[in-house]
Amino acid sequence: MAKPALTDAIQDYLREIYKLGADGGRVSVTALAKRQGVSPASASAMVKKLAALDLAVHQPYRGITLTTAGEKVAIEVIRHHRLLEVYLAETLGVDVDEVHGEAERLEHVISEELEERIDKALGFPTHDPHGDPIPDANLRWPQPAKRRTFS
């Protein structure tokens, strides 16, 4: 049986849970609701849906965590968004202050083939126009630049 298509909303929630939990802290439904601009009840309903899809786990008073599958979707959405920001800024000349909104609209509809072509055409960028890292095609984050020390 084929997996159900993930809606834009599901992808957005996964991305925000990933970002909120990036520092290792717990992700609460309240924090997620605030980030998404929805009521806690709406966020809670979506978290239940994510759990039913095996994309997230919610333990009351312990927070929300993503499953491996949920994390993969979240990182892929981040990759699409940031590659699109670079493409829009560098190739089409869209102002850096405007690329976020445009990328937000396009990130859910870009095919894997187009993602690959954009990545190659841009020379496999590691950071977006805002300086945020871009995961590579294998969804690995770029290594931080080594700090030079002077004696």
Amino acid 26: pLDDT: 82
Which 8-state DSSP code applies to residue 55? S
Locate the domains of the chain by residue range.
8-66, 73-121
**What is the pLDDT confidence band of residue 106, given thresholds at 50, 70 and 90?**
very high
Q: Which CATH architecture has domain 8-66?
A: Orthogonal Bundle (1.10)
Overall CATH class of domain 73-121: mainly alpha
68-90 helix and 112-121 helix, angle to the nearest 10 degrees = 50
**What is the pLDDT confidence band of residue 146, given thresholds at 50, 70 and 90?**
low
The rounded distance, in Å, linking the Cα atoms of 81 and 99 is 9
72-86: string of b/e by CB count within 10 Å (b at 16+)?
Answer: ebbbbbbbbbbbbbb
Has residue 147 got a pLDDT over 60? no
Contact 18, 66 (CB under 8 A): yes
**What is the pLDDT confidence band of residue 145, given thresholds at 50, 70 and 90?**
low
pLDDT single digits (tens) 2-40: 455 799 999 999 999 999 998 887 899 999 999 999 999
Selection from 30, 29, 16 nearest residue 77 by Cα: 16
DSSP three-state, residue 68? helix
pLDDT single digits (tens) 40-97: 999 999 999 999 999 999 988 889 999 999 999 999 999 999 999 999 999 999 999 9
